[in-house]
Amino acid sequence: MKEGWKELPIGAIIKEAGSSIKFETGDWRTRKPVLNKEKCINCLFCWVFCPDSSIIVENGEMKGFLYSHCKGCGICAEECPVKAIEMVKEEV
C-alpha cells in the first residue's frame, strides 16, 4: 500500500539515504553510449567524469552503462582517450 501523508516524517526529513536511485532518469536520453570492449583500456576516466554515476565498474573494470539513469550527455565518449565509447541515436 502507498503511504499517505500521515506516514510522512515531520520536517521534510528523508529517511532513506540515496533514494533518488528509485527515480529513473534514463528516459531523458536522446543518444546512448555504447562501449567497444575491445578498445577499452579501463582507465576509468568515464567513471570519474560521469555526472550521473552511470558507469558500471566491477573490480576496476569498466563493464558498461547504467541505462536506467544515464541521461546521454556524451561526456564519457568525448573524454575517452581511446574512443571506445560511441554515442548512437536512442531508439524509441
Q: Which residues make up the interface to other proteins (CB under 8 A)?
A: 8, 12, 14, 16-25, 28-29, 42-45, 47-54, 57, 59-60, 66, 69, 71-75, 77-79, 87
Using CA atoms, how far residue 14 sits from 5, 18, 23, 70, in Å, is: 14, 9, 15, 24
Separation between Cα atoms, residue 47 and residue 73, nearest integer Å: 13
Q: Toward other proteins, which CB reaches closer, 5 or 38?
A: 5
Q: Which three cell numbers stand for residue 2?
A: 502507498
* Cβ 38 to other proteins shortest distance, Å: 20
* Cβ 17 to other proteins shortest distance, Å: 4
